[in-house]
Amino acid sequence: MKVTVVGAGNVGATCADVLATREIANEVVLVDIKEGFAEGKALDIWQKAPIIGYDTRTVGVTGDYSRTADSDVVVITSGLPRKPGMSRDDLISTNAGIVKSVTEQVVKYSPNAIIIIVSNPLDVMTYQAHLTSGKDRTKVFGMAGILDTARYRAFLAEALNVSPKDIQAVLMGGHGDTMVPLPRYTTVGGIPVTELIGKAELDAIVQRTAQGGGELVKLMGTSAWYAPGAAAAQMVEAIVRDQRRVFPVCIKLEGEYGIDGVYLGAPVILGKNGIEKVIELQLNDEEKALLETSCGHVKEVMDALDKMSQANA
């Protein structure tokens, strides 16, 4: 198995490192436009192999997509990171151009690859990659839900003083402030979370989760990378090993939840063919209203991208 990670910045390098450490693929190719940057990161990861004990070869290249040929899965992390005071939507113009260019190269050399988008703003960058690649929605999708649920689960584990391993959760909608929490589907060792924590405290955790990316930007001056990189690697693992894991991912909805043509986070089964199935939950009225609000926000950004594309045509 061969996996390519485009973008050797913090998120991309972390993703490549997790893929190598967990021996998820035989070879991981790291690509970047900055001269020597991907080569250095890949070499550093490879030199860690004798210490940790893994066999995955990591190779770095500067802009040479021919070296990525015949990749089974490609993770795209390219683009500018968020800076303090900058929303994800502020990134749309620049990052859409980058994602479009990268996707063209990926499809040229790995026409059968499954593509995972991590670039922000996530939902609309997934839309851009889908448009550019011409692939089925089951082969091009975005990483957001795993990261969002990981933050949610981490905060809950802290509040309840339990292992995060025992917390299962689902979040839906757009990546960011309009994400849709689903406490009804959150359990701790099989126990509904609502039996273990009060509504006010749970609401505060949900709110912190929705603003999780912004919290880290304020603290560090840039976007997160450890959790996002690991989340992307977990998606790759589910595909490469055909695990059929149930994860929330950003996918183009085609009638599910009464939504058509909008890229939103929804639970799916992830396996060797990419998205094997979209799972439709029985949402209550409150949850449906939140999802519709999130859908409207994402649609606005998609429309903005369409206008930019028309203007540049």
Closest CA to 75 of 212, 222, 228, 224: 228
10 marked among binding-site residues: yes
70 marked among binding-site residues: no
118 marked among binding-site residues: yes
Place of tokens 């396996």: 271
Residues 6+ apart with CB under 8 A from 298: 123, 124, 173, 174, 178, 262, 263, 264
d(CA 214, CA 53): 36
161 marked among binding-site residues: no
d(CA 183, CA 202): 8
88 marked among binding-site residues: yes
How far from the centroid of its chain's Cα atoms is residue 47's Cα?
27
∠300-302-304 over CA atoms, to 5°?
Answer: 70
22 marked among binding-site residues: no
Please give the structure tokens belonging to residue 116. Answer: 């995972």
Radius of gyration of the chain (CA): 19
Write the burial class of residue 24 (CB in 10 Å: 0-12 exposed, 13-18 middle, 19+ buried). buried
Cα atoms in the Cβ-side hemisphere of radius 13 Å centred on 131: 18
120 marked among binding-site residues: yes
Catalytic residues: 175
12 marked among binding-site residues: yes
151 marked among binding-site residues: yes
Annotate 126-137 with b (16+ C-beta within 10 A) or e (fewer). Answer: bbbbbbbbebeb
265 marked among binding-site residues: no
57 marked among binding-site residues: no
Place of tokens 């880290």: 216
Binding-site sequence positions for NAD(+):
7-12, 32, 95, 118-120
Binding-site sequence positions:
7-12, 32, 82, 88, 95, 118-120, 151
